[in-house]
Amino acid sequence: MIRAIGFAGLVISLTACSAGTHTPPDGAEQARFAAVCVERFEYGEQACACLSRRAAQRFDAAAYAILIDSMTGEPIRSQMEAAGLNASEQGAVSRFVVETALSCQNET
Amino acid sequence: MSDVHVDLVLDPVCPWCWLGHRYWRAAQDLVPEIPVETQLRPFQLDASIPKAGLPYQDYMKKRVGEDSQGRFKAMREHLEAAGPAAGIVFNFDEIAVRPNTMDAHRLIRWAQGQDKGEDAAEAVFKAYFEEQRDIGSSAELTAIADSIGLDATLVSELLATPRDTDTLEREERFYRSLGVAGVPCFIFNGAFAVSGAEAPEVLADAIRKAASLPPEEDA
């Protein structure tokens, strides 16, 4: 019986076919996410890896890069506008870490 | 060391899945001492495609979009380069139809019941990527069934019904709910997953890891 699965490694594979037109962030970008997360927050490496993985599943490469910038404390409103994110996507980026951190901490 | 059960989630129109399946077979040869059971699971990269399919080239252009052409081209080149070493010849330019894959999944499931699931998957991949056949067509799927020793008449009759469609759709929703967003995806003993057509050595390591894990007790 499968209840929950852990994805081996941090990187969302680029040797896979993905549903939709979602262009995932590459491995280096996912590593950057985890590094910034560990540096800025006190979630720990495992929870940050979980956050990075879920963000890679949720956002495409452009939104993912903006999310990393948001974690460094940079204002991201203008970036989101420039990237063409609609209001719903902007809200999802802005809320992602807060909304996801708890479940990632519980998972780890 | 214990036996390893792997749920291999795939879609027959995904070229990485064919490569991944070949790598998976090679990985098992690297660890012959560990018994491995493989269960093929359904995933539809685009379930919205009509049963009759869509023109492949137009569909792919629309799907990847103008901005992603470079990435798409690079991916195709990677696949065309990696294919021959795995005994695969991809020829994307000649594919005419992007099919709906539910019926192909149904055939694979029925074949699995006869212990021929992986043979069916290989035959479907080959029909689509090498022979440019329409694997959404009942006639083609019936011919494929015949080629691997299934009862073609029975398969033809079953394809004319919705038999097992609900079950496969439910399974697909389940794997999506677990976080499977791309295929191939190898789920080891229901505990951890490897996403993508990873090299045989990587998959063999995953088999060893799964075999070393204590068996999970169901509540």
- What integer is the mean pLDDT of B68-92? 82
In a domain, B217, yes or no: no
- What integer is the mean pLDDT of B120-131? 97
DSSP B92: G
Supply φ then ψ for residue B102, to 5 degrees: -60, -45
Reply yes or no on whether the pLDDT at A9 is more than 50. no
- What integer is the mean pLDDT of B32-56? 94
Instruction: For chain B, say whether A6 makes contact (Cβ under 8 Å).
Output: yes
DSSP B65: T
pLDDT value at position B67? 45
In a domain, B61, yes or no: yes
**Across-strand partners of B5?**
B37
Give the chain A residue whose CA is nearest to the CA of B18: A16
Give the chain A residue whose CA is nearest to the CA of B66: A21
DSSP 3-state of B152: helix
- pLDDT band of residue B52 (cuts 50, 70, 90) is very high
Minimal C-alpha gap between A73 and chain B (Å):
29
Cα–Cα dist A94/B178, whole Å? 24
pLDDT value at position A93? 85
Q: Sort A69 into a burial class: Cβ within 10 Å, 0-12 / 13-18 / 19+.
A: middle
- What integer is the mean pLDDT of A5-27? 65
- pLDDT band of residue A81 (cuts 50, 70, 90) is confident
Domain of residue B27, CATH code = 3.40.30.10
In a domain, B218, yes or no: no
- pLDDT band of residue A6 (cuts 50, 70, 90) is low
Using CB atoms, pick whichever of A4, A12, A21 lies closest to residue B195: A12
Percent of chain B with pLDDT over 70: 93
- pLDDT band of residue A2 (cuts 50, 70, 90) is low
Please give the residue range of the domain that contains residue B105. 4-212
In a domain, B219, yes or no: no
- For residues B137 and B81, the model is more confident at B137
Q: The dihedral of CA A90, A91, A97, A103: what is its sign?
A: negative
Residue contact A21–B68, C-beta within 8 A: yes
- For residues B43 and A40, the model is more confident at B43
pLDDT digits (tens, 9 = 90+) for B169-203: 999 999 887 878 789 999 999 988 898 899 999 99
Instruction: For chain A, say whether B90 makes contact (Cβ under 8 Å).
Output: no
Q: What is the dihedral of CA B132, B136, B142, B144, to 10 degrees?
A: 40
> How does the average pLDDT of chain A come out, rounded?
79
- What integer is the mean pLDDT of B12-22? 96
pLDDT value at position A14? 66
Minimal C-alpha gap between A36 and chain B (Å):
24
Reply yes or no on whether the pLDDT at B141 is more than 50. yes
pLDDT digits (tens, 9 = 90+) for B145-169: 999 999 999 999 999 999 999 999 9
Residue contact B181–A12, C-beta within 8 A: yes
Residue contact B196–A6, C-beta within 8 A: no
Q: Strands B4-10 and B36-42: what pairing?
A: parallel
pLDDT value at position A103? 79
- pLDDT band of residue A13 (cuts 50, 70, 90) is low
Instruction: For chain B, say whether A17 makes contact (Cβ under 8 Å).
Output: yes
Using CB atoms, pick whichever of A9, A12, A16 lies closest to residue B184: A16
Reply yes or no on whether the pLDDT at B68 is more than 60. no
- What integer is the mean pLDDT of B78-107? 94
Minimal C-alpha gap between B142 and chain A (Å):
26
Q: Sort B198 into a burial class: Cβ within 10 Å, 0-12 / 13-18 / 19+.
A: buried
Q: Given phi > 0 = left and psi -120 to 50 = alpha, else beta, which region is B45?
A: alpha
Domain count, chain B: 1
Give the chain B residue whose CA is nearest to the CA of A12: B195
Instruction: For chain A, say whether B179 makes contact (Cβ under 8 Å).
Output: yes
